[in-house]
Structure 1
Amino acid sequence: MTAGHSGQSGARKVKRKSRRGKFLVIAVLVLGVLLVAADFALAAAAEYQIAQRMREKLQLKEDPSVRISGFPFVLQAVRGDYTRVEIDAYGVPIKDEQKDIELRDLDIEADLHHTRVELGDLLAGNVSKATIDQVDGKVRIKALDLNRLANQVTPFDKLSIEPDNRTTTATPTPVAPETPKPKTTAAIKLSGQTNLAGKTVTVTAYGQIALVDGAIQISVDDIELEDASLKQLVPQLRNALAIKIDPGALPFGAKPTAVEVENGAFTLSGVITDVPLEQR
């Protein structure tokens, strides 16, 4: 065999090896894409089943948003232990005539830690034995409901909710770290417009919200008015804003243990452990 033939043969072998290498890389990539797609599809099917159960559990009119965190999903499925499941429902109305509760725009959140259920049972919708190690529940009460409740005493327009950030505290002396305790009170700032003595007046109120028997109680300490001549109406305004808002039970029956003021909303939160996934 001549040197030319030998060189051509070697070149062909190199090309064949190069093609095989490319095909192998492509096959691995395709397989990876298929596995990821299958993982997401399996997770979506599980999220759908949980959404159905949560619709019953939380007595919602529509399926809530459900997200199972963690990748790959299949590893959690094999263990039957889903580390974290996030559930969100927005604009939820609640009406309980016996307790005189009527709220129209609640946001409900539930953070489920270690939901334990076999994948086959979950996909079949059979969650009778499913349990959750811990649920962090939260209900957000927005300005729309506060405005409506205040209007029962004095008509307000565009009533807003904010934290009261007027006061500043000195830097605390460093101490040994402790587990933070739930806050049962928080400073608030409420502002909006109302009609007083035939005038449209901007009102700014400062006070506190407190957790009282599972509900939010608002108390106003200071009210600012643009028109100083209307100060005699401050007691009426204070009374109008002294509102108690009871959203009922938190998700999964968690007892409210903390309250917070956010921009545009109040929140109640609590924790419950060892609870069933299915409505009972």
Structure 2
Amino acid sequence: MSADQAPPIHGGRATVALALTVVLGTALLLWAAEWLARAGAESVLARAVQEQTGVLERPAVQVHGSPVLLQALRGRYDDVEVDSGTVSSGPVRLRAVEAELSAVYLSFHDLLDGNTDEVFVERSVERALLTHDDLDRYLRFTSRRLAAEPAGEEQLRLTGTVDTSGGVREVSALAEVAPEAGALLVRPTQLDTPAALDGLEELLLRQRFTFPVPLDPLLFEEGDVDVAVQPDGLAIRVSGSGVVLGS
């Protein structure tokens, strides 16, 4: 082969280098767009959750699944996790508050705007813990001189003093905990006192040992609520569907 017919080695290398540059540049742009879409969605959703609950600290939000960019373009996020930590509303304090949201709708326009008025959530599961110490704190705030401790898987034991028509009584009671209208309702099933009670005293004591604990700190307190008595407190699980943040 003559010198005039030699293959264009340098030209081929330049073409390969250009192709690699284009590929790397495209990959970098896609990575940046993916990162921006994820960060933007998490920021907007965290703000929406904060406004819904009224908590002072913005919760941690993670958008799972990939590519997030495609989820952002279609305005629907498959799996979102919210970690609010410890939240309070008045005398009620809940710990380990977490929520798993499925099919979260946030328009691409709102994502670009960095703000939204409404976020539609197809399904949600929220979990929280009301420790026995925090329940005691709530009882003190509501002027009940009582202390709570677990008494099996489904009941609490409440002990303390209660004012009755016959004077101050030392009382211990077994109480069940059940969800009712966006709250946990604590209701006595058995009263134990050193002395016998007359009918009126027993009625007053049962009323005193019956009280609601609002679930206002939760994101979705109006869903289907399950509660279990654990050694460290009341484990709360709230599930819902078709809910709107910001409505």
TM-score scaled by length of structure 2: 0.64
2:161 corresponds in structure 1 to none
What is the CA distance between 1:55 and its match in structure 2? 1.1
Q: State the alpha-carbon separation in 1 of the partners of residues 43 and 114 from structure 2.
A: 10
> 2:215 is paired with a residue of what secondary structure?
coil
> 2:84 is paired with a residue of what secondary structure?
strand
What is the CA distance between 1:54 and its match in structure 2? 1.5
> 1:60 is paired with a residue of what secondary structure?
coil
Q: State the alpha-carbon separation in 1 of the partners of residues 84 and 133 from structure 2.
A: 17
1:116 corresponds in structure 2 to 105
- Distance change >3 Å, CA 72–CA 55, structure 1 → 2: same
> 1:131 is paired with a residue of what secondary structure?
strand
> 2:71 is paired with a residue of what secondary structure?
helix
1:50 corresponds in structure 2 to 45
What is the CA distance between 1:88 and its match in structure 2? 2.0
Q: State the alpha-carbon separation in 2 of the partners of residues 252 and 48 from structure 1.
A: 20
Instruction: Give the 5 Å matches for 1:130-145.
Output: 130-145=119-134
> 1:251 is paired with a residue of what secondary structure?
coil
2:227 to 259, 265, 271: 259
Instruction: Give the 5 Å matches for 1:1-150.
Output: 13=9, 20=16, 24=20, 28-29=23-24, 31-95=26-90, 102-128=91-117, 130-149=119-138
What is the CA distance between 1:53 and its match in structure 2? 1.7
- Structure 1 counterpart of 2:85, one-letter code: Y
Q: Is 2:240 the counterpart of 1:268? A: no
What is the CA distance between 1:244 and its match in structure 2? 5.4
> 1:137 is paired with a residue of what secondary structure?
strand
**Unmatched tracts of structure 2, length 5 or more:** 158-172, 195-205
> 1:128 is paired with a residue of what secondary structure?
coil
What is the CA distance between 1:251 and its match in structure 2? 1.7
The Cα RMSD (Å) is 4.5
Q: State the alpha-carbon separation in 2 of the partners of residues 265 and 114 from structure 1.
A: 31
2:162 corresponds in structure 1 to none
Q: State the alpha-carbon separation in 2 of the partners of residues 75 and 268 from structure 1.
A: 34
CA contact (8 A) 2:224 2:240 kept: no
- Distance change >3 Å, CA 115–CA 105, structure 1 → 2: closer
Q: State the alpha-carbon separation in 2 of the partners of residues 67 and 210 from structure 1.
A: 31
CA contact (8 A) 1:253 1:272 kept: no
Provide the aligned length of Structure 1 versus Structure 2. Answer: 217
CA contact (8 A) 2:93 2:130 kept: no
What is the CA distance between 1:110 and its match in structure 2? 3.0
- Distance change >3 Å, CA 275–CA 246, structure 1 → 2: closer
Q: State the alpha-carbon separation in 2 of the partners of residues 27 and 142 from structure 1.
A: 57
**Unmatched tracts of structure 1, length 5 or more:** 96-101, 165-185, 191-204, 223-231, 233-238
Q: State the alpha-carbon separation in 2 of the partners of residues 251 and 74 from structure 1.
A: 26
- Distance change >3 Å, CA 13–CA 112, structure 1 → 2: same
- Distance change >3 Å, CA 268–CA 40, structure 1 → 2: same
CA contact (8 A) 1:136 1:272 kept: yes
What is the CA distance between 1:212 and its match in structure 2? 4.7
- Distance change >3 Å, CA 118–CA 212, structure 1 → 2: closer
The one-character-per-residue Cα deviations of 1:98-117 (angstroms, maximum 9, x if unpaired) are xxxx1234443333222223
- Structure 1 counterpart of 2:30, one-letter code: L
> 1:257 is paired with a residue of what secondary structure?
strand
CA contact (8 A) 1:138 1:251 kept: no
2:198 corresponds in structure 1 to none
CA contact (8 A) 1:80 1:119 kept: yes
What is the CA distance between 1:147 and its match in structure 2? 4.1
